[in-house]
Chains A and B, each alone.
Chain A
């Protein structure tokens, strides 16, 4: 078995381990890790086995071909500025593994192909309204952002990264748009992230395809897009309570499936509240701890594509472990990418009843 040195480096950065840490845990000199990763020499079989266990990859993983890597500029991260390079690379490597799983799935299943318009010449507000019109969504709240994105040919996978800084990212891979959502965020937060990434995909396609760095302005505009897409202007205006208070907004936020803070922000940006009221709302929201813990939380969304795929495979007698073995990945790794959906799940494809009764998925995930 020939070891692919790039996969050692890939596995290590996926786990956010430094060379020094890997060397220490493996009981070798730091220089040795450098040597493995540069392909100067291969680790001995026993050493490779230990390394595989430490990094949580099957030994077979290390002999595969080079993986498609996502360059830092072609992916759009929310709050990139606050993120360390190690955290970013770990998330990007999760994305690369999702490509592997996705092509395995697409070899066996026909999925919708992407049909995204280029709305880069429109303001975030106009682009959101235009996209709603093109997709026939009217002013209605979006029942499920992940299902909407998937029905438009966007592949949606999950990240299970227990880090505040990682919200979501999106990237184009071989003509297909991918969105990655961190399941450690609240359901409301994730819906907003999905809207934010959708904003990048329809408005920043050019710079994403050409590896241009994301400017803070692009991030602000993607937020404005998400806000306008989830909370259409006219509907928000029509539903403004006569008295804008935190309890009123808590009643209202579930209607659009957004966070309390996002709704207050939207009302302020539409000038439906005075600056004074907005300031009071912000203080109140922070004081009651609603910024970190969403009141009256909604249920987490999951992928419809993946649950349909897994349901079909289960009927053919294919277990998740079988897929993992075929891809030289661990089941944990697959779970982290697939919203913790299991092959034994009984949920129906379309936002099933069964899913409603199951506890929130993904919350018990450990950092992998």
Chain B
């Protein structure tokens, strides 16, 4: 059964969803030795920090764009330090693993991003680069994993999307959800289906413990006693 070519089935493949923390760790590691959840989330955090620089004087879209720009730069810098390569495919910023097996692109997702159930997709319309990449992704899915490994040596690169969404809660705190997912269908400028979704843990901007009023310890009393007759 080694290099069996599968016949494409007309029905969409079920999406493989990975959500348990230990599964996420293992799956990221199997994709590439340097991929880990903390690093991906930290790059996203850099984006979130950039978002905080926005004031009312900024354009209404500034927060979102600042986030994306800083996220992209942080992710690429971190991975390039570990041997990955940067490539800008028709203005689409990619970062590619040393063995060229995978490329990652950062995108904003809709509110279903990072949720086990639902239909996450890209928030903004995407064009030809993504369309072609998804086509390529689909091609490789037609093969058994073992055959795929051989094929990759020939230069097949899977495009993974690092999708994130910032949701505002009622108390002003925000939740940031992130997933690294492999798109399998592209329709009307949107990703319509995924063959695999690796859901990272959500980040909350709320402090883990509420901060108590400043300096709460009891006051120190220093006894000062007047001596008599001096």
B118 within 8 A of A: no
Contacts of B204 in A (CB 8 A): 242-243
Contacts of A245 in B (CB 8 A): 45, 48-49, 52
Size category, B interface: 20 to 34
- Taking a contact as CB atoms closer than 8 A, the residue among A243, A276, A312 that contacts B205 in the complex is A243
Output the nearest chain B residue to A150 by Cβ-Cβ distance: B222
CA distance A218 to B172 in the complex (A): 45
Q: Would B216 and A276 count as touching, CB distance under 8 A?
A: no
CA distance A257 to B212 in the complex (A): 12
CA distance A245 to B174 in the complex (A): 14
Stretch at the interface among A31-39, A105-113, A165-173, A200-208: A105-113
Q: Would A312 and B215 count as touching, CB distance under 8 A?
A: no
Q: Would B206 and A242 count as touching, CB distance under 8 A?
A: yes
Size category, A interface: 35 or more
A305 within 8 A of B: yes
A151 within 8 A of B: yes
Q: Would A274 and B38 count as touching, CB distance under 8 A?
A: yes
Q: Would B224 and A239 count as touching, CB distance under 8 A?
A: no
Segment 184-230 of B: residues with Cβ below 8 Å from A: 203-209, 211-212, 214-227, 230
Q: Would B224 and A349 count as touching, CB distance under 8 A?
A: yes
Stretch at the interface among A41-49, A69-77, A140-148: A140-148
- Taking a contact as CB atoms closer than 8 A, the residue among A151, A238, A280, A298 that contacts B222 in the complex is A151
Residues of A near any B CB (own CB < 8 A): 107-112, 137, 140-144, 147-148, 150-151, 238-243, 245-248, 251-252, 254-255, 257, 274, 276-277, 280, 284, 298, 304-305, 308-309, 312, 349-351
Q: Given A239-B211, A243-B205, 15 other A-B contacts at CB below 8 A?
A: A110-B223, A111-B224, A137-B217, A147-B221, A148-B220, A150-B222, A238-B208, A251-B207, A255-B216, A257-B214, A274-B42, A298-B215, A309-B224, A349-B221, A350-B221
